[in-house]
Amino acid sequence: MFPWAGVVVLDVEYESYAEAVSGQWLAHVSELIAWNHGILHFVQALGSPLLQNHGLRLLRTSHAVLEQLESPSSQAANHEFATEARFLQVAGAGGLTPWEVLEAGAGAEALRLLPQVEFTGRPSYGRAFDLLAQHVGDDVASELCYLFAFLSFITADPCDTFLRLVEAASGDSGPWRRMRAADILEQLGFGEEFESYLDLVSVGEPVGTPYVVDPMREAMQRLGRSQLLETLARPAAHLNELAEDDLRSLLPPVIVYPSSTGGLVHHLNGVAREDGGDFASNALAEVGIFGAACGLAVSPLGTYCHHVQCPTHPTGLCSHWYNPPTSERGHADCPFPGVFAHWAAREPTSV
């Protein structure tokens, strides 16, 4: 998942997803849960100044790895990128990591987004969810976990904020379940900070990458600030009630699926759907650059691509290239070497 680039890559065949949304969802519950989980990570990025800033740093440092390849400053660029790439995995208060808080929220809410269906067994979405459930019970934890993750990522220390919210809810969870998100923000003292964030997004300030800022601005224009806030805080209560165009303004601009017939399907939403393809091409290029930076600065990566005769294939630098040419076109038509060369000023095979 690459929320900062507006891209989510799902291990769900497009045909299965199409059957599910056409009404056969009971036969594809696991696929719908995976889809919900993926889109919710993008919704989390929309609603978090912290994630917006992290995404912008991730994009800039991945560019720097390629731009400074084999230069005297390459080691510093690699270190800065690797540090940023680990940002969500660094343990904070209570030993929790920011990623565990995000995953707990997305995991719990992904199930709540399904039509009413009975599940047996105790839910668990990781340590953050289990910690909340110990204080308020499983059912209330399922209801509050996404909201608490949303609130936590408005602040600069999400793990500490999450633990404080858990403590606050352990006495009486009722107000947290009943109050509007706007009122909760005001009571917590987060309201002014979130409004300032929305102000910056509305005028196009680079608080994050354009792949999140632009969709956020469109969603704000479509829904209005009040409805947008409530939807970002409690997606399961609102997403399914939105008109299609309003809903698609909140979905990842580019969702990538494997197809049962071979190759990949790019499903476009919001701004990516409206601009004729440039947004999607640029977003996929950013993910490709990120993958190349991972291979250069963190660890070598393999690639899923079936063009095994391609000279770039053995390098693994195209591990995150989700826009490969068809078998009929052949590897010579792949845009990745050109994208890499644009930033690195050299072909990937020369590295």
Q: Which pLDDT tens digit goes with each residue over 136-156?
A: 999 999 999 999 999 999 999
Q: In this predicted model, what pLDDT tens digit does every residue of 62-112 receive, in sequence order? A: 999 999 988 898 999 999 999 999 999 999 999 999 999 999 999 999 999
Give the Cβ contact number of residue 94 at 10 Å: 14
* CB neighbour list of residue 275: distance below 8 Å, 6 or more residues apart: none
Give the Cβ contact number of residue 129 at 10 Å: 24
pTM score, two decimals? 0.93
Confidence category of residue 120, pLDDT binned at 50, 70, 90: low
What is the SS3 assignment for 257? Answer: strand
Both tokens of 302, joined, read: 């393999």
Whole-Å CA distances, 106 to 37, 126, 150, 236, 302? 6, 11, 10, 10, 28
Distance CA 256, CA 264 (A): 7
Confidence category of residue 164, pLDDT binned at 50, 70, 90: very high
Q: What is the pLDDT of residue 261?
A: 86
Q: Could you tell me how many residues make up the chain?
A: 351
Q: What is the pLDDT of residue 255?
A: 95
What ranges do the domains of the chain cover? 28-241
Evaluate whether 125 touches 148 at the Cβ level (below 8 Å): no
Q: What is the pLDDT of residue 291?
A: 96
Q: In this predicted model, what pLDDT tens digit does every residue of 212-230 receive, in sequence order? A: 999 999 999 999 999 999 9
> 């599910």: which residue's tokens?
20
Confidence category of residue 46, pLDDT binned at 50, 70, 90: very high
**Amino acid identity, residue 340?**
F
Confidence category of residue 116, pLDDT binned at 50, 70, 90: low
Q: What is the DSSP letter of 324?
A: P
User: What's the whole-number mean pLDDT along residues 114-143?
Assistant: 85
CA nearest neighbour of 254 among 214, 294, 227, 225:
214
Which span out of 28-32, 169-173, 226-230 was modeled with the highest average pLDDT?
226-230
